[in-house]
Structure 1
Amino acid sequence: MGEGQPSGTAPRQLALDLLQGVWEEKMLLAELEQHPHFAEKPAEIRARAARLARTTLRLAGRADAAMKPFLQRPPRPGIQALLRLAVVELLAEGEAPHGVVNAAVTLAKREHAKAAPMVNAVLRRVVENGQGGWDKTQPQRLPNWLRGRLGATYGNARVSRMEAAFEATPPLDLTPKSESATLPDGEMLPTGTLRLAKAGQVSALPGFETGDWWVQDAAAALPARLLAAKPGERVLDLCAAPGGKTLQLAASGADVTALDISEARLERLHENLARTGLTANVVGADALEWQPEAPFDAILFDAPCSATGTIRRHPDLPFAKDGAGVKPLFALQAQMIDRAVALLSPGGRLVFCTCSLLPEEGEKQLEAMLERHPVLSPDQAAIDALAGFEPDWQAAPGALRTTPEMWPERGGLDGFFIAALRKA
């Protein structure tokens, strides 16, 4: 807590700093949370601030609609962020109005003193209007650069369902290391992922200290299951960090090489291997230049991508990124696909995947790679053998597409495109 800050304003001030970093500076929360301004705060303040920021990012559109009738003109960005935060606390989280309004007025005086009376008046009107002003609002809309692309692919009605899915705080998904793993209480999904509706502190859960599981979205766990690595096989995890898929491959008994260009991200992979007691040959290098001693029996390539499929877990992403940064990724993905094919033994298996909702990073990449590489063919048998496979996931022969509005009764899925292929 900062010196002289009331206990109620410290986490709110930190949440406000995060929100302004996303909306005004176009930075990702992961970057902002590494900054000393955030990292040096007490753990309980950081935790509450991060939760408040993520919830506000998910519900900002609703908050704008709920307070719009009481605003004469759009407020300046810092005050708008503060109002959104307070409205979400009042109407989505049911916090006591007195505490929320007082804290918001205090923060408004720091941000722009003349705006404090307006903040007080707007929030009091929001409280008077009650929950009805919230229930009639619509889910947060994706920014135009992304909504237009997705609407052209999936149709606006389906995109609206995705936006509704993005509002909800996602459950915690765990991948067990083995059938005998010590696990917390939760729902075992058909695909083999354990899902926890409310997890609390992850490191305090049964099985964490003993390395019996790791955090990994159910959709993110599918590519390694589709590759079905076997004991003793030479397997390459291309773009491996932070390592969830590497852990899956290593747990199968395969001889795994985990390759990634980012030494910083590989530190997390080393930590995960140490905690779980699994082993892999970890290599920090550029995949386009790295030369292995011999080709691989199987390769999992989780390509660098827009990450648009992970918005339910990263609500800052649509605001911190724009369409300009996406297009260069398409060419890089194609280059790295060609490299993966070159590193694969004849008869070997390749699983290509992206955590993206954009067809240019999925379906269209698959079409193009099959044209460039006649030695590749779709492996539909691998899809058919996948535990928990549902027919509406099928995107093309040998390929799956998951989207966030799927499994609504279970808490949704990240958006992934996954293709299984064999080399002649």
Structure 2
Amino acid sequence: MSDISGLPARRAALQMIDAVLHRGETLETVERNALRRIRGPADQALARAIAGETLRWLTDLDMMIDSAMKKPLPHDAKPRSVLRLMLAQWLRLDTPPHAVIATALPLLTGGPRRLAHGVFSTLNKRDGLVLPDIPTLAPEVEFRWGDRADAIAAGIVTPPPLDLALKDWSQTEERAEAMGGISLAPGHIRLPRGTPIDQLPSYKDGDWWVQDLAATLPARLLGPGAGKRVLDLCAAPGGKTMQLAAAGWNVTALDISERRLDRVRQNLERTGLQAEIIKANALTWRPAKQFDAILLDAPCTATGTCRRHPDVVHRIGERQIEEQAELQNALLERAVEWLPEGSTLIYAVCSLESSEGEAQAESVNLAPVPITSEELPGGLEPTKDGWLKTDPGMLADAGGLDGFFVGRWRK
């Protein structure tokens, strides 16, 4: 059975989907195990695509499946999982129905196989069966995301392009033209998705690194460093550390994970940038020196990354949000304690949840420094309160961006 062409990719996709939906694992984590038995980058990419499209359109796929059955399948039933990936291949990846059947039904046996075959055949025979223009979100997700829910859902449809952050901003125009990309801000280049990173010019020279445009905004809002001291709190994997170092800041990068700090070291070595690396728990660590600025990119639910990590739409609920909000509040309290008079605090999360953004900002007992339009890429505006809030529905014509909340204060 394993000799069927394409079957290992479908089996891996099924494993990834079930791990996300039934065990709450991240898609990124489960990929490592699910793909290790697949030979060749093409089949690995196919497995990722099937799992990703299934999770992007999960609610709509389930509604289709339910419409073809007299008695709905349990949500954790294996035939439902197989039908989800069958429909995702047919309706999103343009896989011919006969190929869908040949490579998916071997994942089941006996009655479940006949059931899946029957449901898929019923749906396949319906004239004009298509998915909606944008994915349907679960009611609780729509409620949390409010009047931006439809725009965010539209931003989830297509995986994101590739964003690069340049070490030398003066090379922006020249490098964008040479790479065949566009630039939405100084020091930024956007390339089509699927671009092989290690084959791009100057990769080994360390002239740039991969970083979503929205993820670059918190560090940009600190401006040039001119040798001043900054603490990059929760620094891994290092994008903001490199930004700050390239902007002339004297950077201390702190993180609790040695493994993640290894990535920071590797990135710094490749780019030739310098930073002091400290492994410590920010909730118990005390700085031996003062800083002119602190950038706290806090641990969060990461729902703002839903266009590249569609699993967050299904894994994250009120419990996870409350847990992260409690940690964020504790980290903010620590950061405020360490700030001397006249220093600046930046707080950021790649989350779309108000509990992790506005609610945290309102708890900071410092003088806000409102973010201005002039500091942001064209097409982005601060909120009326002077915060920055981005989401995947913004800059849609240029390829979108991740969701972030950013606040700024001075002590």
Which position in structure 2 is the counterpart of 1:122?
A: 119
8 A Cα contact 2:346 2:408, kept in partner: yes
TM-score, reference length from structure 2: 0.91
The answer to which of 279-288 and 319-328 deviates more is 319-328
8 A Cα contact 1:191 1:387, kept in partner: no
Letter of the aligned partner of 2:395 in structure 1?
Answer: W
| From 202, 205, 222, the counterpart of 1:207 | 202
Question: Shift of residue 395 of structure 1?
Answer: 4.4
Structure 1 unaligned spans of 5+: 371-375
Question: Shift of residue 147 of structure 1?
Answer: 3.0
Change (3 A) 1:291 1:339: same
Change (3 A) 1:364 1:404: same
8 A Cα contact 2:344 2:410, kept in partner: yes
Q: Once the two structures are superposed, what CA deviation does each residue of 1:285-317 show, in whole Å capped at 9, x if it has no partner? A: 011222222110111111112212111111111
The answer to which of 297-306 and 171-180 deviates more is 171-180
Structure 1 residue 177 and structure 2 residue 179: aligned? no
Secondary structure at the residue paired with 1:401?
strand
Structure 1 residue 250 and structure 2 residue 239: aligned? no
Letter of the aligned partner of 2:129 in structure 1?
Answer: G
Secondary structure at the residue paired with 1:82?
helix
Question: Shift of residue 389 of structure 1?
Answer: 5.2
Which position in structure 1 is the counterpart of 2:86?
A: 86
Structure 1 residue 344 and structure 2 residue 344: aligned? no
For the residues of structure 2 that align with 1:392 and 1:229, how far apart are their CA atoms? 21
8 A Cα contact 1:62 1:139, kept in partner: no
Secondary structure at the residue paired with 1:235?
strand
| From 285, 297, 302, the counterpart of 2:292 | 297
Question: Shift of residue 352 of structure 1?
Answer: 0.9
Which position in structure 1 is the counterpart of 2:49?
A: 51
Change (3 A) 1:39 1:271: farther
For the residues of structure 2 that align with 1:145 and 1:16, how far apart are their CA atoms? 25
For the residues of structure 1 that align with 2:410 and 2:388, how far apart are their CA atoms? 16
For the residues of structure 1 that align with 2:11 and 2:81, how far apart are their CA atoms? 11
Give aligned-pair identity as a percent. Answer: 37
Q: Once the two structures are superposed, what CA deviation does each residue of 1:310-360 show, in whole Å capped at 9, x if it has no partner? A: 111111112223211221322322221122122223211211111111222
8 A Cα contact 1:192 1:387, kept in partner: no
Which position in structure 2 is the counterpart of 1:62?
A: 60
Structure 1 residue 146 and structure 2 residue 141: aligned? yes
Which position in structure 1 is the counterpart of 2:153?
A: 163
8 A Cα contact 2:79 2:113, kept in partner: no
For the residues of structure 1 that align with 2:361 and 2:50, how far apart are their CA atoms? 39
Count how many residue pairs are aligned between Structure 1 and Structure 2.
403
Question: Shift of residue 62 of structure 1?
Answer: 2.8
TM-score, reference length from structure 1: 0.88
Which position in structure 2 is the counterpart of 1:288?
A: 283
The answer to which of 99-108 and 186-195 deviates more is 186-195
For the residues of structure 1 that align with 2:260 and 2:68, how far apart are their CA atoms? 46
Which position in structure 1 is the counterpart of 2:98?
A: 98
Question: Shift of residue 256 of structure 1?
Answer: 0.6
Structure 1 residue 419 and structure 2 residue 407: aligned? yes
Change (3 A) 1:50 1:194: same
Secondary structure at the residue paired with 1:221?
helix
For the residues of structure 2 that align with 1:300 and 1:40, how far apart are their CA atoms? 41
Which position in structure 1 is the counterpart of 2:23?
A: 25
Question: Shift of residue 144 of structure 1?
Answer: 4.2
Structure 1 residue 379 and structure 2 residue 369: aligned? yes
Question: Shift of residue 149 of structure 1?
Answer: 2.5
Change (3 A) 1:199 1:102: closer
Question: Shift of residue 161 of structure 1?
Answer: 2.3
Secondary structure at the residue paired with 1:194?
strand
Structure 1 residue 134 and structure 2 residue 130: aligned? yes
Secondary structure at the residue paired with 2:406?
strand
8 A Cα contact 2:373 2:381, kept in partner: no
For the residues of structure 2 that align with 1:16 and 1:180, how far apart are their CA atoms? 44
